[in-house]
Amino acid sequence: MSSAESTEGIVVSVATEVDVDSVAPMYDSYRAFYRAEPDPEGSRRFLRERLSRGESIVLVARSRGEPVGFLQIYPSFSSVAMRPILVVNDLFVRPEIRRRGVGFLLLEEAKRQARDRGAVRLSLSTQVTNEAAQALYRANGWVRQDDFFVFTFKMV
């Protein structure tokens, strides 16, 4: 388990199955931001399955031992580079602690996780209207891509 600490006492570490119960309420709040129906048990189950199967990396930020934010990363691959890539899919900081550097620390740890895994890049997407998130990403050194279009095909 790795961790990084800020001057404000925020500690970021890689979550394990033991952390699911403390991260799941934030995950459910993250889902609510995107207008998903609340599902505390489903959120808990989903996180537990991802971690137990090694399908994602969940980083959790704590202040005085209390979880205040999380970031979830999914591994993938670049066929062109023939190396791993990591996809930052979920980033959430509790509203009462936002703008204190928690998101920045979570992104920094995501970069470290990518380097440690030999990833060629990290990627993420955000809503066009989520200007706060875009400002955070730019401040953390992320660059918006203008050379690719993203297409999706909804199955439901």
Give the model confidence (pLDDT) of 73-112 as tens digits: 999 999 999 999 999 999 999 999 999 999 999 999 999 9
Phi, psi of 5 (to 5 degrees): -120, 140
pLDDT value of position 5:
43
**Separation CA 3–CA 16 (nearest Å):** 13
**Separation CA 67–CA 15 (nearest Å):** 11
Q: Where are the domains of the chain?
A: 3-139
Burial 58-88 (b: 16+ CB within 10 A, else e): bbbbbbeeebbbbbbbebeeeeeeeeebbbb
pLDDT value of position 2:
44
pLDDT value of position 150:
86
pLDDT value of position 73:
98
Give the model confidence (pLDDT) of 113-149 as tens digits: 999 999 999 999 999 999 999 999 999 999 999 999 8
pLDDT value of position 7:
41
pLDDT value of position 31:
96
Instruction: Please give the class, per CATH, of domain 3-139.
Output: alpha beta
* 5 CB-side CA count, 13 A: 6
- Give the SS3 label for residue 126: coil
Give the model confidence (pLDDT) of 20-70 as tens digits: 999 999 999 999 999 999 999 999 999 999 999 999 999 999 999 999 999
